[in-house]
Amino acid sequence: MHITSFIVDVLPTHLELACRSIAQIPGVQVHARTERGQLVTTLETDTDDQTSQTFAAIGQVPGVVNMALVYHQFEPDPEHEA
């Protein structure tokens, strides 16, 4: 399991739509936002590739102008351990 946290900068004029769009991406949660368009998000995925693909998908959301990785951790998933 990969756990990632990042800040997403969104144009304030696109904030509502971007928040809804980003929150609908599987594994992504929007925890907080500012009026200036900064979103605090987390992402949970199973693989590095899924993390990269999701990060790229968020970058394609209209109004997203920047993303900054804050934290990334890999943990074994207890449900898949023998």
- pLDDT one-digit tens code per residue, 47-78: 989 999 999 999 999 999 999 999 999 887 67
Residue 70: C-alpha distances to residues 3, 13, 80 (Å): 11, 25, 27
Q: Of the candidates 31, 49, 42, 48, which has an alpha carbon nearest to the alpha carbon of residue 6?
A: 42
DSSP label of 62: T
Give me the residue spans of the domains in the chain.
2-75
List the structure tokens of 54.
């999701």
Confidence of residue 30 (pLDDT cuts 50, 70, 90): very high
Tokens of 28: 């992504």
Q: Per CATH, which fold does 2-75 belong to? A: Alpha-Beta Plaits (3.30.70)
3-class secondary structure, 45: strand
